[in-house]
């Protein structure tokens, strides 16, 4: 089994220890290093080339968003999952625009964290439901009917080329439920098929692939 090599960046030792303890229960995870601030995260990423970086936002010396920008500039292949307690619109948008692959809150259940790390390692956009909802609310056009967090998850997968069966397996739902979500999405976006839905959502900024 090829392990996912993880770098953790957080300025609280107790938090790092707790997250490391959870991650190390999974046979496909390997925590290769820890960083206490953004500067250390950049240096560790350069030396160790992790598959996934778990990045806090508020850290001394250099905050998470600046570290994300610098890492993505020099090592665009590294996927970064923001793991933080902050869920304000400004924090979310800044992190996503800097190049974060995903955004998860620290109070997420451990299984959600595990799924997020694996999804991030595959380059999938992983967003906590509240984060997806905030991004959607910020980016949609005035008067446009809101897509639910689950509908955004479905759209992201479709935009990445996933079949209905793929979506069902990844989200642990039935194919019938996927079809139902797609019908609702088409209706809300005013389109007639899944391809048009994905294209329209990308054009409107409702979802992003990078």
Q: Is there a domain that residue 115 lies in?
A: yes
65 and 46 co-located in one domain: yes
pLDDT for 204 beyond 50: yes
% of the chain with per-residue pLDDT over 90: 52
Cα 96 to Cα 79, 93, 125, 185, distances in angstroms: 12, 5, 10, 23
Q: Is there a domain that residue 80 lies in?
A: yes
Range in 18-22, 120-124, 192-196 with the lowest mean pLDDT: 192-196
Q: Is there a domain that residue 34 lies in?
A: yes
CA–CA dist 47, 59 (Å, integer): 21
pLDDT for 72 beyond 80: yes
123 and 63 co-located in one domain: yes
79-138 pLDDT per residue, tens: 999 998 877 767 887 888 888 988 999 888 999 999 999 999 998 888 887 777 666 555
Q: Is there a domain that residue 209 lies in?
A: no
CA–CA dist 54, 74 (Å, integer): 17
162-185 pLDDT per residue, tens: 999 999 999 999 989 999 999 989
CA–CA dist 200, 182 (Å, integer): 13
Which tokens go with 66? Answer: 């600046």
123 and 149 co-located in one domain: no
For β-strands 52-55 and 4-9, DSSP reports them as parallel
Where residue 176 sits, what CATH number does that domain have? 1.10.10.10
95 and 150 co-located in one domain: no
96 and 160 co-located in one domain: no
Which band of pLDDT confidence, cut at 50, 70 and 90, is reported for residue 5?
very high
60 and 74 co-located in one domain: yes
156 and 177 co-located in one domain: yes
CA–CA dist 33, 30 (Å, integer): 9
pLDDT at site 143: 40
pLDDT at site 132: 72
What is the domain range of residue 180? 140-204
pLDDT at site 137: 58
Where does the chain show beta strands of DSSP type E?
Answer: 4-9, 29-35, 52-55, 79-84, 102-105, 126-127
Which band of pLDDT confidence, cut at 50, 70 and 90, is reported for residue 142?
very low
pLDDT at site 192: 85
Decide which of 132 and 152 is more confident. 152
56 and 128 co-located in one domain: yes
pLDDT at site 52: 97
């Amino acid at each position: 089994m090829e392990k996912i090599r993880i770098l953790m960046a957080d300025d609280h030792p107790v938090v790092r220890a707790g997250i490391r303890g959870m991650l190390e229960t999974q046979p496909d995870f390997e925590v290769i290093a820890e960083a206490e601030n953004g500067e250390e995260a950049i240096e560790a990423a350069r030396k160790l080339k992790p598959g996934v970086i778990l990045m806090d936002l508020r850290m001394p010396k250099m905050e998470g968003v600046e570290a994300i920008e610098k890492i993505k500039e020099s090592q665009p292949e590294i996927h970064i999952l923001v793991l933080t307690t902050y869920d304000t619109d400004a924090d979310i948008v800044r992190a996503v625009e800097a190049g974060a692959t995903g955004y998860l809150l620290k109070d997420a259940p451990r299984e959600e964290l595990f799924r997020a790390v694996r999804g991030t390692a595959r380059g999938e956009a992983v967003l906590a439901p509240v984060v997806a909802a905030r991004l959607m609310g910020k980016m949609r056009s005035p008067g446009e009917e809101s897509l639910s967090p689950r509908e955004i998850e479905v759209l992201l997968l479709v935009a990445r080329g996933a079949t209905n069966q793929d979506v069902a397996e990844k989200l642990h739902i039935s194919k019938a439920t996927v079809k139902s979500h797609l019908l609702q999405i088409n209706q809300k976006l005013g389109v007639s098929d899944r391809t048009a839905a994905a294209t329209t959502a990308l054009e409107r900024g409702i979802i992003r692939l990078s």
